Amino acid sequence: MTSLKLATNKKSLTGELTIPGDKSISHRSVMFGSIAHGETRVTNFLPGDDCLSTISCFRKLGVTIEENGGDLRILGQGFEGLTEPDEVLDVGNSGTTIRLLMGILAGRPFFSTLVGDESIAKRPMTRVTGPLSKMGTAIDGRKNGAFTPISIRGGKLNAIHYELPVASAQVKSALILAGLQAEGETTILEPADTRDHTERMIRKFGGKISKEGQTIRVEGGQRLSAASVNVPGDISSAAFFLVAGAVVPNSEIVLKNVGLNPTRTGIIEVLKNMGAELEIIQTEDDSFEPAGDLVIRTSSLNGTVIEGELIPKLIDEIPVIALLATQAEGQTVIKDAEELKVKETNRIDTVVHELKKLGADIEATEDGMIIHGRTKLHGGVVSSHGDHRIGMMLAIASLLCEGEVTLDNPEAIAVSYPNFFTHLESLIH
């Protein structure tokens, strides 16, 4: 594990950034290109560690994928073109890869084994393996399929009606991908809206899926056709610079071509509710994925309450929202965020622990945290704990700190944002 001394106590951030491609959409572009018929072209793909794990897995399943930086060429031969892998499928640190891939493999008539890193080994898989077993696939793993390694012998699937116990885009997507291969119509009831990239991607590749109220319906036996996918910038990555621009004095940052999918814009709602000076310039409003440019300026912020249906729209942004709240007047309460406990780390405890090291007035609750602002931050030795979102949040926090900040395990950030530090450095003046 390495350590990195971070930039501290900065007087302004100014400039323009083009945010790397959206991680969720990059994953799905590879998956759908692989299960569609024909040649799929992808531009602005995110070449982060997680998405490269997805490419590696599909190559092992017999798919030809050519990479040229952020451009991909995928030669898909449909679901039936996937072949039994000769080796274990290693998803690295990627929860999206393993959960969605399980949905695809559930309907394939061959055997495969999925593993990941130490973090993946601790993340619960029962929420996916349970309903997939009900659809008829033979699936097993440590503790009866609760943890990796996971083994799957796929085959004929039956459609099911399934009520998600928690709002999870990954679980929903796994069941949709299995449902595309099942006999009959699969229906999924979700307790709250979650990111809908999978549904949009199905339509992009010529498939059909519908949603009425909270019920999603997908018919089995569909044939998908190749498409061209231009991946917008990742709003979860943009969030770190939105917070930086709002809290560092004398700042103005322009973020180009950021995805503005309404199931992902919780960070924008929170910033506006707290009084941030944020301007949105819509540039793309097609049926696939809306996008636009964002301008953020140093702002006077007030505390707020973040709860309920807003949580799934910003679950990955909560670590940096906690930092934002330390610089707002008054109290900010985050609740209904139990899902944070089963991310790359227990993000509730980790965020509280690390921000306290820098002087934040923050406490953990059973389902979130309470942050008291406005607080001056100081130096210290902090750690990403191998979690990219925690690492980037702490790098932004250092900009506000009096005294030296050292970040342990900064390399975790490469999972979703390989050139994060270069981009951050370009804004510092």
Q: Is 310 helix (H, G, I), strand (E, B) or coil?
A: helix
* Edge-to-edge strand ranges of the sheet holding 3-6: 3-6, 401-408, 377-383
- Looking from the CA of 276 toward its CB, the CA atoms found within 13 Å total 34
Nearest to 46 by CA among 195, 234, 265, 201: 234
Tally DSSP H helices, then E strands, for the chain: 14, 23
**Residue 418, Cβ density class (10 Å: 0-12 exposed, 13-18 middle, ≥19 buried):** middle
- Chain centroid to CA 211: 22
Q: What is the DSSP string of 397-421?
A: HHTTEEEEEEEE-GGGGGGT-TTHH
E strand segments, 136-227: 138-141, 147-153, 161-163, 185-189, 210-212, 215-219
Instruction: Determine which helix (DSSP H) or strand (DSSP E) holds 278, and give its type and residue range.
Output: strand 277-284
Ramachandran angles phi, psi of 293, nearest 5°: -95, 145
Q: Which residues define the annotated binding site?
A: 23-24, 28, 95, 123, 168, 170, 316, 343, 347, 389
Residue whose structure tokens are 């291969």: 181
**Contact between 320 and 347 (Cβ < 8 Å):** no
What letter would DSSP give residue 40? E
Q: Which residues define the annotated binding site for phosphoenolpyruvate?
A: 23, 95, 123, 170, 347, 389
Preceding omega of 149 cis (within 30 degrees of 0): yes
Q: Which residues define the annotated binding site for 3-phosphoshikimate?
A: 23-24, 28, 168, 170, 316, 343
**Contact between 310 and 303 (Cβ < 8 Å):** no
Which residues form the catalytic set? 316
Nearest to 300 by CA among 250, 247, 255: 247
Sign of CA dihedral 114, 116, 118, 123: negative
